[in-house]
């Protein structure tokens, strides 16, 4: 049994993020921006969860490094999508995704060689 139940807390954070973005973008009804910024902000929350999990690791739970990687990927996907909305150029979004995926792959490989 896990010590901390962070699922309900994460759901609450997601609902608050969506509510704030819906209010912020209500006049324009820019759904692409709402979804991309939701991914970005929820990615930041997952990174915060990784920090919480690093302080109190669980025996059979997801590791803090795994949560950190998922948070970075969510942040990157949302950021690339939002960058595509702002600039209209897909090339910048693809470059951002490739650079971040490469950095994550390097970090993961280096972590595995340290053990």
Question: What is the pTM for the complete model shown?
Answer: 0.83
pLDDT attached to residue 1: 42
Indicate the domain borders of the chain. 7-114
Residue 47, Cβ density class (10 Å: 0-12 exposed, 13-18 middle, ≥19 buried): middle
Count the neighbouring beta carbons within 10 Å of the beta carbon of residue 3: 10
pLDDT tens for the 115 residues of the chain, in order: 455 677 888 899 999 999 999 998 888 878 888 999 999 999 999 999 988 888 877 777 778 888 889 999 999 999 999 999 988 889 989 999 999 999 988 888 887 766 5
How far is the C-alpha of 109 from the C-alpha of 34, rounded, in Å?
A: 34
């Amino acid at each position: 049994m896990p010590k901390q139940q962070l699922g309900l807390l994460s759901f609450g954070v997601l609902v608050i993020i969506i509510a704030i973005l819906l209010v912020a973008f209500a006049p324009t009804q820019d759904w692409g921006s709402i979804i991309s910024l939701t991914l970005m902000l929820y990615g930041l929350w997952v990174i915060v969860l990784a920090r919480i999990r690093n302080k109190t690791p669980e025996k059979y739970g997801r590791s803090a490094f795994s949560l950190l990687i998922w948070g970075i990927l969510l942040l990157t996907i949302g950021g690339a999508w939002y960058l595509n909305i702002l600039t209209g150029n897909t090339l910048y979004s693809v470059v951002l995704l490739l650079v971040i995926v490469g950095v994550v792959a390097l970090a993961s490989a280096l972590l595995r060689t340290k053990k």
